[in-house]
Amino acid sequence: MSTPAQRSYRYYEFVMAAFVTVLVCSNLIGPAKIAQIEAPLVGTLTFGAGVLFFPISYIFGDILTEVYGYSRARRVIWAGFAALGFASFMAAVVVALPPAPFWTHQAAYEVAFGNTWRIVAASMIAYFCGEFVNSYVLAKMKILTRGRWLWTRTIGSTIAGEAVDSALFYPLAFYGTGIIPDEKLPTVMLAQFLAKTAVEVVFTPVTYKIVGFLKRAENEDYYDRRTNFNPFALKV
């Protein structure tokens, strides 16, 4: 089988673009709004709106690793990290610019885009670690399962990745700030972890469809048997 370095792909860049778009939008647009709905059998659910869309980035991460291999997914994770960094920098600069006297929306703008650097840093650290754990676990599980039972890899890797993401983000972002009481952090972390994992489970049939299409279209089904799993090695 050809290695990723010897191949060019028709859809790889499109999947990369979709991954980065979902990642940036879910981190920039979603967190500013706290939503509350009444769910049957469960009752009132309160959550950050971004939780509905952020797990989709993990789905694209699964697709990238499953079809193209860990090293190709690693480049996309780094692209997402750079995009998050620039979006956060741009938001900070735009919020800090003095508003014109006739522009009366500065307070609303600060609420929507004025995340503190502590939250930004926590988000980027959690993303970096969670995505690499997700990709690594899926790549290793694919070898162990000999390419069978895709659902075990997509869900299993997401459980690992989202667990790392939630365990890092909430304490780093909120511990000791009073925004979320410290004793409530474990409950919030668990709720967010379960919600994000549930999104992966719900989208499993869609993941199967996309993976199947890409494997046929690209004539690729990569196994990471000789892969360098160092997250800082960008060589494919």
**Domain holding 118: CATH number?**
1.10.1760
The verdict on residue 62 lying in a domain is yes
d(CA 26, CA 23): 5
Q: Check residue 52 and give its pLDDT.
A: 79
- Reported as a single tens digit per residue, the pLDDT across 203-235 is 999 999 999 999 999 999 999 999 999 999 888
- Reported as a single tens digit per residue, the pLDDT across 77-102 is 999 999 999 998 998 899 999 999 99
Q: Is 187 helix (H, G, I), strand (E, B) or coil?
A: helix
The whole-number average pLDDT for the span 154-174 is: 92
Q: Check residue 189 and give its pLDDT.
A: 86
Band of the pLDDT at 6, cuts 50, 70, 90? low
The verdict on residue 186 lying in a domain is yes
Q: Check residue 235 and give its pLDDT.
A: 82
State the residue range of the domain holding 127: 4-218
Phi-psi region of 124 (alpha: psi -120 to 50; beta: other; left: phi over 0): alpha
H or E stretch at 188? helix 185-202
The verdict on residue 92 lying in a domain is yes
The verdict on residue 230 lying in a domain is no
34-38, 72-76, 122-126: segment of lowest average pLDDT: 34-38
Are 48 and 33 in contact, with CB atoms under 8 Å apart? yes
- pTM of the predicted model as reported, rounded to 2 decimal places: 0.88
The tally of domains found in the chain comes to 1
Q: Check residue 4 and give its pLDDT.
A: 44
